[in-house]
Amino acid sequence: MQSIRYLLFPLAACAITAPAQAQTTGVIQGRVTNSNGGAVEAVSVGLQGQPMGDITDEQGRFQIRGIAPGTYTLVVSAVGLKTEQQQVTVTAGQPTTVRVMLAESAAELKEVVVNGNRTNRFNRTSSEDVGKMPLKNLENPQVYATVGKELLTEQLVFSVDDATRNVPGLQQMWQATGRSGDGGSYYASRGFVASSQLRNGVAGNITNTIDAVNLEKLEVIKGPSATLFGSALTSYGGLLNRVTKKPYGTFGGEVQVAAGSYGFSRESFDVNVPLNKAKTLAFRLNAAYQYQDGWQNRDYPGYDQTLAIAPSLQFQPSDRLT
């Protein structure tokens, strides 16, 4: 019985404190209407310089409690309406009722001018492979994304799987397994499974991870428009088309060296040579050697070693060829 008496004492103290606090503070309440007399909902009502306020309800009513007696400036504001301010005097133990009418504001936002001085050097404005004809991006109704070699070089991307990370809406489901016939990576696009089975627009099945040493660009077509390349190699989700580097009419080349953690090292080169004076016959060779240990095999023998060689020969016939 004694424990129950001790429990009732703090409850009684709380009940006495609440009326006492209500007698020492005041309340501001009221209603916000527009010029037609209708209620205005979601209007911000606050006291200037005080961390107190309220938001009007569907009837335009508001109520701010626990205000010390004194004179305050009531600020009522809403988007598209003129801000109103009223002097309000708060009396302890008595509610102060106000009525505020907000008029529409004819003020306009200031003009914002955005100037773009930088160009996207990774952007490609046209494609000859997506629609099987040279079309600019604005002229082609197909939905597709292009990842060019410039971006791959900037990001140090060495495989097609890593290049697909730049394609929005494409997610890798599982990596290459090395199984004959269908051992390449698979991706999810628009709820359907897709794989990189096209090279330069024709069938090019893969069984392992594809090195990007001879990749000019990666084009990913989304949606059923990918069936333009045939239903056997595509799905309703889209397709991945690998466009390879092609020979050109002048001598040129480059050498790249990369190194990283876990013993990673990669050496690659790209050499192009015209084979005749007319420059109608050209040969290009892309090759890369890559070696890397891994965190799983730091304490025992094991490594990942790949060699990619991609030769290409191009002949440009004249009109006399029959």
User: DSSP letter at 104?
Assistant: B
Contacts for 94-99 with beta carbons within 8 Å, 24 or more apart? Answer: 94/26, 94/27, 95/26, 95/27, 95/28, 95/29, 96/26, 96/27, 96/28, 96/29, 97/29, 97/30, 98/28, 98/29, 98/30, 98/74, 99/30, 99/31, 99/33
Q: Hunting for tokens 């002949």 — which residue is that?
A: 315
What global pTM score does this model have? 0.59
Q: What pLDDT score was predicted for residue 2?
A: 47
Band (308; pLDDT cuts 50, 70, 90): very high
Residue 286: the pLDDT is 95
Helices (H), 64-198: 149-155, 160-163
Residue among 246, 306, 309 at smallest CA distance from 274: 246
Name the average pLDDT for the chain: 84
Q: pLDDT tens across 185-226, in order? A: 889 998 888 888 888 888 877 878 889 999 999 999 998 888
The CA-atom distances, in angstroms, between 195 and each of 94, 132, 148 are 74, 20, 19
Given this model, what pLDDT does residue 7 score? Answer: 43
| Distance in angstroms (rounded) separating the CA atoms of residues 158 and 211 | 6
Question: Any idea what DSSP says for residue 54?
Answer: E
Residue 12 pLDDT exceeds 60? no
Among 65, 59, 60, which Cα is nearest to 44's? 60
Tokens of 96: 């102060």
Segment 290-318 shows an average pLDDT of 80
Encoding tokens for residue 159? 């495989």
Q: Going from the N-terminus, what domains does the chain have, and what CATH number goes with each?
A: 15-101 (2.60.40.10), 126-244 (2.170.130.10), 252-315 (no CATH)
Residue 309: is its pLDDT beyond 90? yes
- Give the residue with greater pLDDT, 234 vs 266: 266
The first and second tokens of residue 145, run together, are 């994304």
pLDDT of 6? 44
The size of the chain, in residues, is: 322
Structure tokens at 27: 């309340």
In terms of pLDDT, which residue wins out, 35 or 281? Answer: 281
